[in-house]
Chain A
Amino acid sequence: MLHFFRHPTVRRIAQLGAGVIFLAAALPKIADLEAFSGSIHNFHMEPVVPMVLTNVLAVTIPWIELVAGLALIANVKPRAGAVVYTALMVLFTVAVVAALARGLSFDCGCFGKSDAANLGMKKLLENLGMVALGVIASLERRG
């Protein structure tokens, strides 16, 4: 099984997929930072991340997504790009789980404002799928 996922073509496809996902996530956020800032606020992570940092995250996260997405697509440091993608995806998933566990319900803004779906199991499964994609994309190339 792992052998299949290590196949260069499979990994490359996973990397392209992850790259496209990150570009699709980054561009609408960069276009409307204010909306993204509001979305971060909605997650109410202040027990872990101070509220005052909300805008710092809103300013930096989309651009990190953009650079990682471009690295994945352009095949420049793709493995590093895949590791960044996976790490961010894991953090987003943790934030979604924490929000769901506390009964918060809101539009997550994951892909900007067009993603008006409220947080729910669907979002969680979607996120887990995207984490799995990242893991495949991060697999080490042998030989």
Chain B
Amino acid sequence: MDRWWSDGTERGGVLWGGVVAIVATGAFLGVFQNALVRAGSKDEGLAWKYEAPKLQTLEEIQAQGSAGGATPPAPAPPADPNDPLGIPVGVTDIPDVGRPIEVTATKARELVDSKGAAIIDAREAADYAAGHIPGAVNLPFDEVITDPERLEAFDPAGKPILVYCGGVTCELSMKLGYELVRLGKKRVLVYTGGWPEWNDMGYPTVKGTAPEGA
């Protein structure tokens, strides 16, 4: 006869009964705790149905704006020393919405070609040196997320900031985007396709540790 508390001799049905009891108790406590917290306030605890955090795309935000939404008008673009007219192409239509905005490869290309954005490559230094988008500054996510001063010191010279990274899902760039906004940076764009897409499309790239190539 096994005692209920057992001392490690449990086997067979008693063992599996214990396993089920532990899992069921844990799951029940977890659900109970979350339900209790959510009963107090819907904003606390976790929603039962998970929704992945998603960025709004530039097109969605512009569509809202033209539909008379509350989007503030785009600030005047800054003077660009590389552009005699002082208006970088395709930059005038980027609003500051207080959160990162997702952009497509086409828009990213436009911004890179016109030097209309300060670009951050959030990948590791070795990946950056092996190839990056021309003009991109390397701020590896792992390093800067624990060292906000480096991010704060990043000066986009009045331009929008374009963040990208590599990997399959490129969520680091999104997180970095949120961190930049939190630090008070304006008009933060996230190129979610990132390095893999840019490279696959055959867009211009440079190698080396310098933004414009070694």
Q: Is B8 an interface residue (CB 8 A)?
A: yes
A interface, size bucket = 35 or more
If A63-B33, A64-B26, A64-B27 touch, whether A80 touches B171 (CB-CB below 8 Å) is: no
Q: Is A127 an interface residue (CB 8 A)?
A: no
Contact partner, A75, options B8, B16, B18, B30, Cβ 8 Å = B8
Q: Which residue of B lies closest to A75 (CB)?
A: B7
Contact partner, B168, options A44, A66, A83, Cβ 8 Å = A44
A55 touches B46 (CB 8 A): yes
Which residues B36-61 have CB closer than 8 A to chain A?
A: 45-50, 52-53
List the A side residues contacting B8 at CB < 8 Å. 8, 11-12, 15, 75, 78-79, 141
Contact partner, B142, options A15, A56, A118, Cβ 8 Å = A118
A55 touches B47 (CB 8 A): yes
Given contact pairs A37-B46, A80-B6, A80-B19, a sample of 19 additional A-B residue pairs in the complex whose CB atoms are under 8 Å apart: A12-B8, A30-B33, A51-B50, A53-B50, A55-B46, A55-B48, A60-B26, A63-B26, A63-B30, A64-B23, A66-B29, A77-B10, A78-B8, A80-B16, A80-B18, A81-B22, A102-B168, A105-B172, A106-B171
Cβ contacts A to B, 16 pairs, < 8 Å: A8-B8, A52-B50, A55-B47, A56-B50, A58-B46, A60-B27, A62-B30, A64-B22, A76-B5, A77-B6, A80-B18, A81-B22, A84-B19, A84-B22, A104-B169, A106-B171
Seen from chain B, the residues whose Cβ lies within 8 Å of a Cβ on chain A are 5-11, 15-19, 21-23, 25-27, 29-31, 33-34, 45-50, 52-53, 142, 146, 167-169, 171-172
Seen from chain A, the residues whose Cβ lies within 8 Å of a Cβ on chain B are 8, 11-12, 15, 30, 33-34, 37-38, 41-42, 44, 51-56, 58-68, 71, 75-81, 83-84, 87, 102-106, 116, 118, 140-141
